[in-house]
Amino acid sequence: QVQLVESGGGLVKPGGSLRLSCAVSGFTFSDHYMIWIRQAPGKGLEWVAYTTSSGRTIYYADSVKGRFTISRDNAKNSLYLQMNSLRAEDTAVYYCARPMAGVTSTPFDYWGQGTLVTVSS
Amino acid sequence: QSVLTQPPSVSGAPGQRVTISCTGSSSNFGAGYDVHWYQQLPGTAPKLLIYGNTNRPSGVPGRFSGSKSGTSASLAITGLQAEDEADYYCQSYDTSLSGWVFGGGTKLTVL
């Protein structure tokens, strides 16, 4: 069955860095685009970063552009999110998810369980 | 403030029918982009409930249905059950923002 398992969350000080990982199984990872979506405590969902299957085309939300970097290793069936210059407003549960198909009008059909990132001094 | 507007809460008694609205604009629904719906049970990740406006993934009960017209969409739940108590989110793509957008979420309470 399809599984997405995030790791790497934790407590970090403002200005610090963290690298999240998402280990994928149950489907051909290299065939699929992938996305990171976050949810601040008690708040709604916000997309963060998106990569095509090859990793050659990447999109970022304005709120993280220049600070976060999405990458993938298709040989390891893994997705990553390098987060630098972290701010308090980056505090959230971070989910990796699989777009069902395409780029724009796609739903996200599989989600990981999420990993909590807390930015606080 | 979310690009897609949902009511913060709805409620209904077991067995009843409830609807959750999602209002967009000319740059998302009005531009032809589909609406998708997610159910998020407490403490869990969102789960895809409806995709492509009206389609249910395998395993989602027929009690859940979706519709879209113009710049609005809605999720209907019939035969309400206690296990339906959750947060529900609509989602689409916005061409002006060049990104995916979500509603602010609606908390469904089963009375």
pLDDT digits (tens, 9 = 90+) for A4-53: 999 999 999 999 999 999 999 999 999 999 999 999 999 999 999 999 99
> Given a cut of 80, is residue A100 above it in pLDDT?
yes
10 Å CB burial of residue B29 (0-12, 13-18, 19+) is buried
Q: Nearest CB to A113: which of B45, B57, B91?
A: B45
Locate the chain B residue with the closest alpha carbon to A104: B93
Round the average pLDDT of chain B to a whole number and report it: 97
pLDDT of A105:
85
Q: What is the DSSP letter of B55?
A: B
Nearest Cβ partner for B99 among A47, A100, A111: A47
Nearest CA in chain A to B42: A42
Question: Three-state DSSP class for B30?
Answer: helix
Residue B73 pLDDT greater than 80, yes or no: yes
Q: Would you state the pLDDT for residue B75? A: 98
Q: Which two tokens stand for residue A116?
A: 């909590």
Neighbours of A53 (CB within 10 A): 15
> Do B99 and A59 make contact, defined as CB atoms within 8 angstroms?
yes
What is the pLDDT at residue B98?
A: 93
pLDDT of residue B19: 98
Q: Is the pLDDT of residue A102 over 80?
A: no
Q: Report pLDDT for A101.
A: 85
Contacts of A109 in chain B (CB under 8 A): 48, 51, 57
Mean pLDDT of B64-92: 97
pLDDT of residue B63: 97
Q: How many CB atoms lie within 10 A of CB B86?
A: 21
Decide if A44 and B104 are in contact by the 8 Å CB cutoff: yes
Give the whole-angstrom CA distance, residue B37 versus residue B53.
8
Q: Looking at chain B, which runs of residues are DSSP E strands?
A: 9-12, 18-23, 36-40, 47-50, 64-69, 72-77, 86-94, 99-102, 106-110
The 10s digit of each residue's pLDDT in A71-89 is 999 999 999 999 999 999 9
pLDDT level of residue A103 (50, 70, 90 thresholds) = confident
Contact A105 B57 (CB under 8 A): no
B42-54 pLDDT, tens digit per residue, is 999 999 999 999 9
Q: What is the mean pLDDT of residues A67-71?
A: 98
pLDDT of residue B11: 97
**In the structure, what pLDDT confidence band is assigned to residue B78 with cuts at 50, 70 and 90?**
very high
